[in-house]
Every structure is written in C-alpha cells, then in structure tokens.
Amino acid sequence: MTFTVITASAGSGKTYTLTTRLADALAGGVRTSEIIATTFTTKAAAELRERLQLRLLELGQVEKANEIGSALIGTVNSIAGQIVQDYAIDLGLSPELRVLSEEESGTILTASINHTLAEVEEREHALLARLGYEGTPGQSANSFQREESWASAVRDLTKLARTNAVSPAALARNAEESIADFRAMIEAAGYETGPDQREQWRRTFEGCLAELKKDLDAALAAQAQGEELTEWPSDGAPVKRLGSTLGNVQGSVVTLEAAHRRMSRDMSAVPWREWMALADVSGMAASQGGKKPGARPKAVFAPLAALIFGESDGVGVLGNEAFLADVERLIRLAFSTAAHALEAYAERKAALGVMDFADQEILALDLVGDSDRVPASLKKRVRASLKERFRFLAVDEFQDTSPIQLELFMRLGDLVDDVVWVGDQKQSIYGFRDAAPELMAGVVSAVRKQHGGFAGGSVEALTDSYRSSAAPLSLSNALFTAIFRDMDPSTVALDIPERRESTRHEGGIEVWKGPETLPRAKDSALRSSIATGIHALLTSGATLDGKPVKPGDIAVLARGGGSLSTVTDALETLGIPTTGTERNLWTGREAHLMRAGLASLLDPSDTLALAELVDLIPEHASHETWFQELGALPDRAEREGRMKAWREDPSLASLEALRARAAQLSPSEVVLALIDALELPRRAKQWSTTEDRLAVLDAFHALARTYEDDCASRGRAMGLAGLRAFLDEHGEEHKLAHDPNAVTVGTIHGAKGLQWPVVITIVPDKAKDARDSVTVKPRPADEFDAEHPLEGRGLTFIPILNDAFPPMAKALALNPDVTRARLENRAEEARIHYVALTRAKYQLVLAGHKDLAETLYAQFSPEVVEAEIAEAAAWTPDRDDSPKALKERKVARDQKATYTLSLTEESDGSAALTVTGARVPVGLPGQSEPPCSADACENAKAGKCECGARVSTIPVTVLHHETPEELEESESPLEPYRQERSPLAASVAARPAGTPSSFVEHEGGLPARFAASAVASVGIDANVTIHAKLGAPLVGEGGEHRELVGEAVHAYLATPYALLPRERQLALARRITERWLGTDPLLKAKVTPEVVIEAGERWHAWSAREFPGHTAGTEVPVAWWNADGQAMEGWIDSLLTLENGHSIVVDHKTNSRTDPVQVLDYIRKEYVGQLATYMSALEERTGRRPEYALVHLPLSGYVVKVEIGS
C-alpha cells in the first residue's frame, strides 16, 4: 500500500489536486468501480464527481468518464451506508432500512431520552437545584441564563459517546475517572476534605449582618445628632465619604437580609453558587428595594469570606464533604443517564426500523474492523470482498473527520493498494460536529516519522494560492505563520503562481472602524455602519479584475449568526439585496396564492380560500367584482351557488383537476403540481423581485420533502392537513436558496469552501471562552497510535458550578484536561478566523472597533491563555485585585505572546498592519523582515528563523463609516443603491417612449424598490383642474390624527357599500369608525358613521351619472418595473372601466381643504407623481393608458381631474 498525505491551504487547489490524482490512477489502469472517494458534504462530492469526469474527458478517457457512476464517490455517511447496505442481510437488517437526517435523528434522540430525563429531574430536583443545573437546554450560564442545563450535559455525553465509540461500560468507568479528576484538582488547589460547615457559615453570616447593622445605626445616629463619625464600630476602620457610603450600607442591609431569609427557610436548599457568592458580597445582585453591596459591607463580611475561601481551615466550599458528595452524585448521574439514553434511543430506532449516520459508520467499522459485535467469519468475508473490489481510496477534507470516521478510513486503507488523504489542519472548524484536528496532526506526524504501517508514506504540501491576490495573501501569510507556530511556515504561507501574475496587485486590505458610541450600542452600530461601507463601495464605481463591483461580489462574515440581522436590515434599507439569512416565506403574493390553493385542495368548502384565490388571480371572471357579488346576495343558498360558479371558472380549472388526483400524490408532488396549476412561476416573472419569489416556491417544495422525511422517521401518516401545518410552522423562518446577485451575509462556518471578490470580516471584541463541561479525553500524545485512533479515548465531565469563584478557577487551572480543552478552543478560534481571512479573492475588509488589531491577536495567542491559566492557578485570597494590579497583570500576560498584531495610522493618512513574530519566507507575499541581515541569515531566507522579532508590514486603508441613521440626520443622507433589473422579470413589450426619470425622483434618490406614493411631482407635465363639487364639506378643516380619518374613509369606500341596504351600511360604517377612530372621542364625534355613509353615497351617485355603465374595481393591485429598473408594487384605490374600454384611475384623499386654489396646489405638489406612476404602470400592463386620473376628496366634496401627458 502507498500512503500519501497532501497538506493544503485555503485556495491552494486542493480539489484540483485530488481530481488529478484520481484521474491519473484511472489512466494508469485502475477501473472506475475500484475507486472510493469521500468528502465532507454532498455538494462537494457532486463537484468532485463532475470535475473528475471532465478531467477524464480532457485526457481522452471517454469510456472511463462515461463509467464514473460506478465509482463510490460520496460523503463518509453515504459510503459507510453503501457498505452496510451491501451486507445488510448478513447483518440481519433490511437493505431498504431508512437512514435518518441529522434533524430527524436529533428529534428522535430528544424524544427518546426526554422521559428518562424527566424521571431523573423529578427525583433529583433538589440536587440539580443546589448545583445550579436547572437551566434551559441550548443555553449556558455563561451567556443568557444563570443556571446550567442538565439535559444539555446528558445530550453532550450521549453524542460524544457515539462518535467516539465509547460503550456504556466505558461510560461507567469515565464517570469514576471524572470524579477522581475533580477531587484531584481540588486537592491540587490546596483544599482538604472536611465536614459540612454550612451551619457555621450561616451563624457567621448572621454575626456579620449584625455588625453591619451596628455600623448603620452608628452612622444614622451621628448624622441625626450632627456629629462626625470617624471610625466604624464593627472593625475600627476609618470612615471615608460617609454620605455616599451610608446610602449603600442602608440598601445593602436590605439585600443581605433577603439572602438571610432564603438561608433561614431551608439552609440545605441554598445553591452552592450562592454560598460561593458570599465570599465577596460586593458581587451580589441587589434585591428588590435593596442595593448591590459595596466596599463597607465587603469589609464587614470578611470573616465569612475567610471561611468560604478556606483561609482558616483549608476546607472552604470546595473541600466541604457535602459539596463534594453532591458533585460526585451529579457526575455519576450524568453518565448513567447518558447510558440509559443511548439504550432508549437504540430501542426507539429499532421500533421505527431506522438508523442514523453514526449507526452507518459504526456498522461499517464493525464489518471491516476489530469489533466482536460481528462474527469473525463475516468480517473476513467482507474484508476479502472489499479488497477484491477496490484499489484506490481518496479522502478529502481529512481535517473534518471524526474519530470513528478516521478509524474507518484506516481499516479501509488496509484493503486497497493506494491511499491519498487531502486536508488542511488550519481549516478544521467543525469541533461541534466532532471533528478532531489532533488526529490529522497525529497521522501526519506518523507518516513523516515512518511509523508502523505508514512506512514508505509521504507528505506533500500545496504551496500556491489560486484564489487570493497579494494583499489578502500578505495578511494571512504573516498572521497565521505567527499564530500556527507548531506548523512549518512552508505549509502555511502561500505564493502566487506565475499564471495568476496579472491579478497579483488587484484589491487591497481595508480596516473599517465602527462609530464610537455607548458600549451597549457599539456592536449594533458597527454592523449597521458596515452597510454604509458596502453602499459606498457599490456606488463608488470601483472595479476589481476589470469588472464593476456588484452586490453578488460581496460577503459579510461573522463568528456567530445571531447579530447578522442588523447588517441585513441596514443593507435592505439602503436598497441592497441580501442572501444567506432566514426570512418569512409567507409575506409575498406567491405565498398567499400557495396557501389559499393548498387550503382549497384540503377543503373544497373553504370559502375564505376561494375568495382569496379569486381576489389574487386577475384572469378570474369575478376578480374585480367578487365582493360586490357576494354583498348583493343576502340569501345563503344564492351565495353558495355563486361560489360554486367561481370554482368552475376556467382560471381555476387546473386547480379543480388537481383536487381529483391529489390523494395519489406525495406532499412534495402536490406542492409542485399546485405551483403548476396556479401558474406561479409565470406570475412571479410579472411581479417585482422575481428571483426571491421563485426561491420561495423552491423553499416550499424543499419543506414538503422535509415534511415527508419527518413523517417517515416518526412513523406518522402524511397528508395535506399535516403538510399545511408543517409549512405554517417552518415557513416563518427559512433560509432561501442562494441568490448570486445579492450580498451574502452569513457565518464563517457557512463560508468554508467559498470565495468572493470582496469579503468583510467582523472582528469580535473578545474570543469565545466558554468552558465545555463535557469533553473528550484523548490518549496522551506520546501514546497515540495513528493506526488505531479510537483506542484510549474517553469522556470527562467536570460540571460548571461557578467558574468565576476564585478557588474554583484555581482548581480548574490545575486540571490538565480543562486546560487542554481551553487551549483547543482557542486554537479552533484561530482556525475559524483563518477561514474568514482567506475567503477574499481581491479585497479583504476587517470591520471592528478602534482596537480591533489588538483584539484580534489577543484572541489566539496560546501563551497569553497559558499565562491566564497560570495566573488563576496562583490565586490567593490576599491577592491584590485593584484596577491597577489587574492592568499590570494584563500587560504582563500580553508580553508573553510570541507575536503581536498592531494597526499604525500615520499623519499623512497612510496606515499599516504590523505582525511581529511572522515567519513568511523571503519572496512570498507578506514576507517577514528579520532583525538580522537577510543576506547573512540563511534560516530567514528559508522561513525558518525563530527570532520572535521578525516583522511583516502590510499596507492598509483605514475608513470610518457612520450608520445609515446617522447619515440620514446629516446634511448628506445616502441615496439608496440602484439595483439592476432582474433578468427573470417579465419582458416589457410596450414601454412608453421617453418615460421621464423624474417620475421616480425624490429627495432620497433612486431605490431598488419604491412606493408610488413616494414619487415626487416635480418636472411632470400635468393639467390639474376642479372637475366636480359633490356638495358642502362634510367636516371642517384641520385637526390632529387626520391619517385615521383617511384609513376609515378608505376602508368604507373599498367595500361594496352601494349594494347594501341602509341598515347594513350603517352597521358597516359603525364598525369601521369604531376601529379607526374609537380612541379619539373628538374625531369620532366629528366623523360619524353617517358622515362616512354620505361620502360614499355622494361618490356613487355622481360616478353613476358621470360614467353610465362603468364598472369599478377597488384596491386594485399593480406591479411595475419602470424605465430606471426600479420595482413598484401598490394598490390603486379604484379603477373605473368605461363602456368604451377606457379606464380612469381614482384616488381617494381625505384632505379637508375647502379653498379650491389650495386644493389644486395641494394635489399638484403631493400626488401628481403617484398618479403618473399608476398610469404608466397600467399602460404597460394593458397596452392602453388611462384617459386621466381623478382625485376624490370626500370630506371637502371636491373631485379633481389630473391629466398627464404620455
């Protein structure tokens, strides 16, 4: 067997190299059916298959290219699944056994163990409460809640046990090992086990509280008598600033008395976290009516602190035998519950006849490995069969494999002739999916050292970047050769190959500093200002590689996705489209049609769904008259007859035909058929934001498929009712398919494997430093066997009880497993940011606050973390923790870093990022300058100089961006970005020639989308005249809340009021005025139901006389793309269609001006732009321009005619 490990870097051509190796093997005689190639995702596997086929065609291997389907290329799970399926009958399984998705397995696991958890939680409630383990799953006491989650700890143990092949028996051993580790760290911190002293703590608390009250009484007495209090009675300490101290002492007594009451009710129920908090009462939260204790209460309670810290007896809280007994009980309980959960989960899957991805991997490993769960004869036969079938094993994304997957690869590798593993340790960022980068490091080390079965193996490195230009490459080379000090710089730093020389100097590096604001608002302000920066980039005319920068060229990446909505909202406010974040699918017309169509299929008698269909489908005969038709039919039987006729309309024929066969279709097939029956793709192309609407339809289909899988995994029947409920539940937060024409806003994890011309990375203020209570305990490095990576791995559970309590922090710092896990977490943070800073092809932007450079480097330095750990391990109760001492210790910690990153800004406007400790070889982008002579230092030339003073200097541009809100308030607000017209939008057959751009000019500029009501009237040639006077004014001029009057009158005029008898008109008007005007007695008294009815009667009578035989549509929807490529969607109050086919636009306005000159001036200034937009939209849609528009002012009685030139 030949064994080759190819170490890659971001953008170094990893997939191309793997494809070439596979193609060379096939060209050299290996048959396609003898190939096993595995990668991390289904998408990556499909890309590998496609690239391999193209490469074979380039080599003239047409026959093998056509046979590519016989190669076993897929994800680890799919390959493991294929092996299991091939030998399923031998294993006593059905070959058709269904495999659960990740979401399904998570759901079943939760359902399987919840009963066990509930039993334990009920039985052990007091224990969990004392140890602070009653939190909500999915949240941490370090973030959004005070309590840790017991359920989460059990689930973590369950998951890690499966992915590391830890058996229930091993879990029991791990429990005892965890207990031993916990006791050992307590002893290492200097604490002895002693009797339960809580009663003594309570008495001491009472004594300290009494002393504090003495101090308070003395201070109050001195104040009352006008005397000066010079020292405190409790301890003789001098009194300083009595005025401010007295108020704090008074409030502190209230807070401390509340704590005493809790303690007195049931001392055994007081959480250990609260006892720990009493060691420093100044850290207690204020109770209701009380204050947070200050310096005086802290001094008075010093005797209690000494007891809890263990200063006097060496026991304290950590050595308290009752505390230790609780912790031991919790640890055993967690491991035993996890073991029971695994059994319950296995039983549940067996009952459903399903397996999950981990089952596939475990069974496949059982068939080819050393497991005693499979008969030896079967293993021998399977291994012989696989050895005969396959000759070449290729593993892509090696760094992301879990321990059990690595073991499977090792055993498969034993059976083939050639093995190629490709990976990049620097991009191992899926620790939450059980990736173990130390395993790749172990294998690479074993190959280099030629250990065991790796003798004769080789390690190759890819050293050129086929992605980034010199600027972003300079920073990643310099920064990460400094950070990854345990790696050879030649495996980290990349060069630009000759064929990419033309783009070497494209782009650059920018630093975007967020606005200086209050600490609580600074992160939000930074994210909002990023939108401003993107807007500036898009509107600047900037080009990269000869092409203008467009939204689809840009990505915004952050460590976590929770706060990215601020970026998305700000971008969309500026008219810049975004993709990558979740959205509500139900907001558009296409979704309303989908919902109504599905409801109609489910229940033919659903009259609401039918009415919505008629209202939304313009081709329906009753589209514009349905409300009037129903209003004119008071008899229920007649209304039912009319709705039956609606269903028989030709526009709904396809929907009715689908109803007859819907029962024979799967839910996903129903969704596709419904989309076709309602012609939703065609309609989407006639509306704005076409891509979004089509993506929504795709999302509904995908959700239907998910619903099918969910039903199958749960053993439930599927149907239209269940589908509708599922879509309702999951449609409100769903991620649409990627839009290539929009700015990508997402997480760094989601960006892995992707690239953009411009990447903006948000630099967090501090590293993620939450401790995981459940971790994998790997085999010691000096005992690691790369050929058997699962051997010696176990789990450890060190509960999170109060990590901030100094004695606990000291003990944790002395626990080697906790220290290792913390350093591994920091190392993963560095790898995550390596991924972030290597996505850019040309332009890299670091977005953060003023000290972002120092913040970035401090997050990753293992020496700084080790210094923090050492500092915690050296804690003593008498340590100086004043602000000055804390600052000095921070400076000392930072000085231990082997590298630094700093931002320097010069007076001439130039700026640079400087990396000290970089190890970039000479000649590569970002090369380091050694303090010694480069000519004399051969080590420096080779990039091997270990001098920590080596420096890389990278030029950058520093920009300061304000938030859109701040600019809106300034003298130069931003003009919204003008998006290009969608290539999927309906073509324009008859766009009116010479359409003036002034139709859409307004103070804010030209947005991608606009409302007709926001269109300015300046520059539009219009003739505005009084056309009719319908009577005296119905209400006087002026008054507040006129917009409510408008809503009420509009609501009434939009109904078929003319078809209703007087009493029903009155009831309708009362409901409307009560809804809109009920909160304002003055308006309600002025605009009565009778006034509203008269406004309607006047308009109806006049329009019937003026336009005999006309039909009137109300609230008519209209969508339009104007000549500037802008999208408009709106509703026309009323559209009159005359007998001769001409139309008139009617807009109802509730302005109450009575002076005709003022009325005309008002209409001309405020509404000509809106009416012109409606008329142009209707002309394009119908091919005939409305003759004119009418503005009906019902309160003043005027009808104004607006004639606008074409």
- List, as residue ranges, the binding site for ATP: 8-15
Nearest CA to 695 among 579, 616, 566, 568? 579
Report how far residue 537's alpha carbon sits from residue 541's, in angstroms, rounded to the nearest whole number.
7
Helix (H) or strand (E) holding 445: helix 437-448
Task: List the beta bridge partners of residue 846.
Answer: 511, 761
Structure tokens at 161: 């046990």
CB atoms within 10 A of CB 576: 22
CA dihedral 514, 515, 520, 526 (to 10 degrees): -30
For residue 575, with 0-12 CB atoms within 10 Å meaning exposed, 13-18 middle and 19 or more buried, which class applies? buried
Spatial contact of 1170 and 1012, defined as CB atoms under 8 Å apart: yes
CA dihedral 294, 296, 302, 308 (to 10 degrees): -20
3-state secondary structure of 459: strand
Helix (H) or strand (E) holding 5: strand 2-7
Spatial contact of 1163 and 1036, defined as CB atoms under 8 Å apart: no
Structure tokens at 664: 């024979």
Phi first, then psi, for residue 25 (nearest 5°) are -65, -40
3-state secondary structure of 555: strand
Nearest CA to 494 among 483, 484, 481? 481
Report how far residue 792's alpha carbon sits from residue 1060's, in angstroms, rounded to the nearest whole number.
84
Alpha carbon 814 to chain centroid, angstroms: 36
Report how far residue 852's alpha carbon sits from residue 510's, in angstroms, rounded to the nearest whole number.
12
Structure tokens at 301: 């309670």
Report how far residue 340's alpha carbon sits from residue 172's, in angstroms, rounded to the nearest whole number.
11
Question: Could you give the maximum distance between any two Cα atoms of the chain, in Å?
Answer: 106
Residue type, 1047: E
At which residue do the structure tokens 């005319």 appear? 541
3-state secondary structure of 1037: coil
Residues 6 or more apart whose CB falls under 8 angstroms from that of 507 comprise: 469, 471, 472, 544, 757, 758, 840, 841, 842, 843, 844
User: Would you put residue 1107 in left (φ > 0), alpha (ψ -120 to 50) or beta?
Assistant: beta
Report how far residue 926's alpha carbon sits from residue 470's, in angstroms, rounded to the nearest whole number.
8
DSSP assignments along 732-793, one per residue: SSEEPPP-TTSEEEEEHHHHTT--EEEEEEEPPSS---PPPSEEEEPPPGGG--TTSTTTT-
User: ∠ CA(850), CA(853), CA(859), 5° rounding?
Assistant: 115
Spatial contact of 817 and 181, defined as CB atoms under 8 Å apart: yes
At which residue do the structure tokens 């039912």 appear? 640
Report how far residue 777's alpha carbon sits from residue 1173's, in angstroms, rounded to the nearest whole number.
69
For residue 608, with 0-12 CB atoms within 10 Å meaning exposed, 13-18 middle and 19 or more buried, which class applies? exposed
Which 8-state DSSP code applies to residue 134? B
- Report the relative pairing of strands 1198-1204 and 1022-1029 from DSSP bridges: antiparallel
- Report the relative pairing of strands 98-99 and 72-75 from DSSP bridges: unpaired
Helix (H) or strand (E) holding 27: helix 14-27
Binding-site members are 8-15
3-state secondary structure of 191: coil
